[in-house]
Structure 1
Amino acid sequence: MVQNQGESGGKRMIMMAILGPSPRFLSGISYFTMRLSNALAPGNRVTAVLFRNMLPTRLFPGWRRVGSEITELEFDSGVRVEEILDWYNPLTWAKAYRTLRRQQVIVLEWWTSSVAHMYLALCLMNRRKVPVVIEFHEVVDPLEQSILPIRYYARLMGTLIRRRAVRYVVHSDADRSLITTHYRIPEEEVTIIPHGLYDQYKVFGKSEAREHLGFAEKNIILFFGLLRPYKGVPTLIHAFEELPGSLRSESRLVIAGEAWEDQESVRLARSSAYAGQITVIDRYVEDREISLLFSASDLLVIPYTRASQSGVAHIAMAYGLPVVASEVGGLVESLGGYQGTTFTRPGDTRGVVEGITKVLKEKKNYPVPEELRWDRVAERWEELCGDLVKEDGPGTSQGGDRS
């Protein structure tokens, strides 16, 4: 039985565990797990339970960098870190549950079904003794949907795990509508908590950053993030080629990020008639270089054809950069209140041309959205978790089984 933790400054202290990927398998979800854990640590007892070996290493598209120390972000000292879950070892799952059973709330970060068997095992051991909250970063992963056996596996395992949760968190109203219809989850069980800013990166002077990167052009147009088919990079390349001649001649397009399922965009950029003005960084970009790229750039373009959310946009907003974005999914909500956003239709090359031209003509930065600061995000989480915690310790499921 977990003892009542009392209150801190009028706010009840909550014992919670957040499950996500270790920095060994570094990705946007790793960063998110660290930032959320750190934001909740003041005034609460937070344990980060991490996947040490998330899946067979060679199946991870960025397997060559697994285990490399390529981020400067760390868990705060107030977060207890248990990096113990191995995909192949049920003993590590049992060890993890010994930690989870002492919590008042368990938060599962959901972004891939590759960890579903571990989530399910932990949920079965839990037997609804501690309330489970699932936070969705991907409602439906496009790669998993494209491979028939994985699609069926993801559907089955996802159903079994969702039945064992009592609340669900998404980052936008669009995602709430999607999961309530796709997974038949009652709307009242879904809470919208926005994605926090990725404001952990250093800000360099624009001239200093450009000199370090070797960029001499007047205008720097940035695409950043993993290259996947739904990211719409070909639309951006074609838009760059169609910029007015004088504007294009004094501009550089930078495409930075590992090409996972989208090697075609790399080939398209390198075979472009303007390839000399296109920089392709086809690898994982480390933190210091991220700082330099965003400090050097005049705008970020995210021409996605679909999106639940974009962590990359939350880096750009932290820098006050203008963003030219497709009007799709959760981007409409997360970027809609940001003064620096210009929306275009997905796949609309002409719209991207007009958006880039407008931004480069105005050349200004924008206020950082205060509502996306992590202390604000933490308040929303504390409100949700507080509702789930009973005065005498862990609660039981309020939802029951759901098909």
Structure 2
Amino acid sequence: MSPTPHVTIINPLAGALGHYARTLKLNLTDSGHDVTAVDLVEPSLADESRFTWVRRYVSALFRVSRAKPTGAVILAWPVLGYWDLVLARLILGRRRTTRLVMHDPVPLVRAVGYSAPARRIGCALSRRRTVIVHSTTAQEAITETTFGVDSPIVAHPLQATTHSCESTESNVPTERPVIRVLGQFKPDRDIQLLADLAVELAPRYSLEIHGRGWPRIDGWAVSDEFVDEDRLDHLLATSAAVLIPYRRFYQSGIAIRCFELGTPFVGPRCDALAQLYGPDSPLLVGSPADTSAWVRAVEQAATECRDALRLRAATATAEVSDAWRRELALH
């Protein structure tokens, strides 16, 4: 009998990517792997410098190398961009299969390690160290900016909720449904779209934004603060719909969370969201700047059957686990 394959997940954003890493662990366990998780809290939550955070990350790589000289390692976020591939080669060694999850091939916020030298050197040393992406858009961005790196598309981690229908449906307001935007502000958020939507939606819906860094937007109640896991689950479960108002993005963890809970989300008709709903869903907007199309999609979402969304998520969970099993079996 062959031994159970071992995988170590190193998550350097334990706050922002806590759910992502936990869900990935469940998917890998479901696919037959023995999984160890290493979590590091990011500087914004640990009240420490970025240098200290990087040092803790490097120390974690050394600990993993000593504890498990074989097996796969998944780096859930690039602390130093493409330089992470160099660190993996130097610290984890040649025998180790490493996967670096590249969420934003062209960063949505300021980041290090994405310069031409970093891409060239990191990819030259990668060999068995594969860059994983979660959407065709992300894969195309890597292909356009990086030469010679393998970047397979592997499904975003997903785990259907076990909450009962009654526990979430009964908490959704019906007299004045709440439409929310959740997550940190980034420059690629479409503020003008939200302002335009408020004119159309405010008479019928309560409009809320929760996340760090958001500016004031007319018609929206903005809560500029970090949203912890428990609070996020409550906000998701009690939303009539959640908006994904990006001009540019590669995947959406908030959309995944909605899908897991059976909460309808509305966003652009891009491959990252179409993977969840299907390309013809009325909840996806073909022309992202078309305010009236967003309004129609929101109205549709507010009446969407959550049982059907949960059923789809349950089916997708098994498919995601199988996709990770196949990916890790390739090397």
Residues of 1 paired with 2:23 and 2:109: CA distance?
A: 26
Q: Structure 1 residues 380, 48: CA separation in 2 closer, same or farther (over 3 Å shift)?
A: same
CA distances 1:336-367 after superposition (whole Å, capped 9, x unpaired): 3585633242333333233324444x454343
Aligned with residue 143 of structure 2, among 156, 173, 180:
180
Which residue does the alignment assign to 2:158? 197
CA distances 1:316-354 after superposition (whole Å, capped 9, x unpaired): 112323322123463344443585633242333333233
Runs of 5+ unmatched residues, structure 1: 1-5, 67-84, 211-215, 389-403
Q: Structure 1 residues 158, 201: CA separation in 2 closer, same or farther (over 3 Å shift)?
A: farther
Which residue does the alignment assign to 1:122? 88
In structure 2, what residue type is equivalent to 1:257? G
For the Cα contact (< 8 Å) 2:243–2:266, is it kept in 1? yes
Which residue does the alignment assign to 2:80? 113
Q: Structure 1 residues 184, 333: CA separation in 2 closer, same or farther (over 3 Å shift)?
A: farther
For the Cα contact (< 8 Å) 1:217–1:250, is it kept in 2? no
Say if 2:25 is the partner of 1:37: yes
Runs of 5+ unmatched residues, structure 2: none
For the Cα contact (< 8 Å) 2:103–2:138, is it kept in 1? no
Count of residues in Structure 1 that have an aligned counterpart in Structure 2: 320
Which residue does the alignment assign to 2:54? 87
1:128-143 equivalences under 5 Å are 128-143=94-109
Residues of 2 paired with 1:131 and 1:355: CA distance?
A: 43
Which residue does the alignment assign to 1:225? 183
Q: Structure 1 residues 320, 354: CA separation in 2 closer, same or farther (over 3 Å shift)?
A: same
Residues of 1 paired with 2:176 and 2:40: CA distance?
A: 44
In structure 1, what residue type is equivalent to 2:153? I
Say if 2:121 is the partner of 1:160: yes
TM superposition shift of 1:285: 1.7
TM superposition shift of 1:51: 3.4
Per the alignment, in what secondary structure is the counterpart of residue 65 of structure 2? helix
TM superposition shift of 1:93: 4.3
For the Cα contact (< 8 Å) 1:86–1:93, is it kept in 2? no
Residues of 2 paired with 1:338 and 1:31: CA distance?
A: 28
TM superposition shift of 1:228: 1.2
Which residue does the alignment assign to 1:213? none
| TM-score (norm. length: structure 1) | 0.68
Which residue does the alignment assign to 2:203? 249
In structure 1, what residue type is equivalent to 2:185? L
Residues of 1 paired with 2:267 and 2:194: CA distance?
A: 11
Bigger proportion of residues as strand: 1
Per the alignment, in what secondary structure is the counterpart of residue 367 of structure 1? helix
Q: Structure 1 residues 230, 197: CA separation in 2 closer, same or farther (over 3 Å shift)?
A: same
Residues of 2 paired with 1:336 and 1:49: CA distance?
A: 34
TM superposition shift of 1:310: 0.4
Max Rg structure = 1
In structure 2, what residue type is equivalent to 1:387? L
Residues of 2 paired with 1:95 and 1:359: CA distance?
A: 47
Which residue does the alignment assign to 1:312? 254
320-329 or 379-388, which deviates more: 320-329
For the Cα contact (< 8 Å) 1:112–1:138, is it kept in 2? no
Aligned with residue 103 of structure 1, among 33, 56, 70:
70
In structure 1, what residue type is equivalent to 2:147? R
Aligned with residue 319 of structure 2, among 376, 383, 402:
376
TM superposition shift of 1:154: 4.5
1:255-334 equivalences under 5 Å are 255-259=209-213, 263=214, 266-268=215-217, 272=218, 274=219, 278-328=220-270, 330-334=272-276
